[in-house]
Amino acid sequence: MQSDNLDLLQLKLKGSLGDKKFLLVLDNVWEKGCSEWDRLRIPLLGAWKGTKVVVTTRNRKVAAVMRANHPHYLLGELSAEDCWSLFKNLHLKMETPRHFLS
């Protein structure tokens, strides 16, 4: 029964995305099983040229399983100061009165 549900979801996904160009971001991925990723990849194989899938992970094995067409980028950790600066610039600037930012 679970396989039937997965097949149906794959068909729906393929039908919804098949004739569109899109950006799919999978953030903080931990699943390492090849078969699990193949289940997700199959409906995406017919996507339009220019479609991009971005996967972020802290696990090198996950990155290897993705079978990327492009190189993997190993990013370093941001310092606390850089994190706060990024947070302020992206979020607080828009919603917080200026006198609270100092």
Domain boundaries, given as residue ranges, for the chain: 2-75
* Residue 49 binned pLDDT confidence (cut-offs 50, 70, 90): confident
pLDDT reading at 76 higher than 70: yes
Distance CA(20)–CA(91), nearest Å, equals: 31
Q: Is residue 69 within 8 Å of residue 39, measured between CB atoms? A: no
pLDDT reading at 55 higher than 80: yes
Give pLDDT tens digits for 7-24.
787 788 778 877 778 888
- Token pair, residue 68, equals 């990327």
Entry pTM: 0.59
